[in-house]
A = this chain, B = another copy of it.
């Protein structure tokens, strides 16, 4: 088992200065893992939290469903890689994207040592790709409540459970857990809605993500008091009841 010391250089002569050290440095002396990114692209539609998956046409995990992902190129940043695979596999650009966790169990990928930096994206459902060849938007279900944590299940059309590749069920579960936590103290919920939205829509998003009801009055008050909502003066259209005012995410207001 070759073990790269943290500062590899048993075979190197001490170098006088950094420049000459770097000229003599050979990163190939030690085996290196592959590094990939995987993105949990989330949206809220039809009363459920959903994730964008694609069907694997190659080994390993052929036929199962996987998060959009791919190996990191040598010259690109990790966030760039995440945005690239999101655009390539799901056609999504300019989305809210945050790093989630890095998964690195030695046996998580049968191809060898593959370390995956997982990200999650929040997307307005109107921008989400329609199901097409190989790409599917699956409902997410978790067997836990609150912020307990654990793997998630992906449900296809007819609520049939989809087999998830690698450790992607764990990754999806962690993304949900993180999102639930964020809703309590930050404004990420907006990212799952169109630019203009009603308070009821925002509350729906919170309830769907959390998997439980929230108090309407308190929710309204908290959101309006947060200073993160900007009333547009316009109202929703084509509803059969009293139309609610539309709000926009306010960059920054008095704290």
Interface residues of A (CB under 8 A from B): 1-9, 15, 17-18, 21-22, 25, 27, 30-36, 56, 58-62, 69-78, 85, 88-89, 99, 101-102, 104-106, 110-113, 115, 117
Q: Establish whether residues B27 and A111, one from each chain, have CB atoms under 8 Å apart when the complex forms.
A: yes
The 12 sampled A-B contact pairs (Cβ below 8 Å) are: A6-B88, A8-B71, A18-B60, A21-B60, A27-B34, A30-B34, A31-B74, A32-B33, A33-B72, A33-B74, A78-B102, A115-B115
Residue of B nearest to A79 (CB): B104
Summarize A's interface: helix, strand, loop or mixed: loop
Q: Establish whether residues A25 and B72, one from each chain, have CB atoms under 8 Å apart when the complex forms.
A: no
Specify which chain B residues have a CB less than 8 angstroms from the CB of A9 in the assembled complex. 58
* Distance, CA A122 to CA B137, complexed state (A): 40
A77 to chain B, nearest CB (A): 6
Q: Establish whether residues B36 and A35, one from each chain, have CB atoms under 8 Å apart when the complex forms.
A: no
Residue of B nearest to A31 (CB): B74
Name the one of B6, B61, B106 contacting A36, with C-beta atoms under 8 angstroms: B6
Known: A1-B74, A18-B62, A27-B111. 19 other contacts (CB 8 A): A1-B73, A1-B75, A2-B73, A5-B70, A6-B71, A9-B58, A18-B110, A21-B60, A22-B59, A22-B110, A27-B112, A31-B74, A32-B33, A35-B35, A35-B115, A76-B106, A77-B106, A78-B115, A102-B102
* Distance, CA A15 to CA B117, complexed state (A): 28
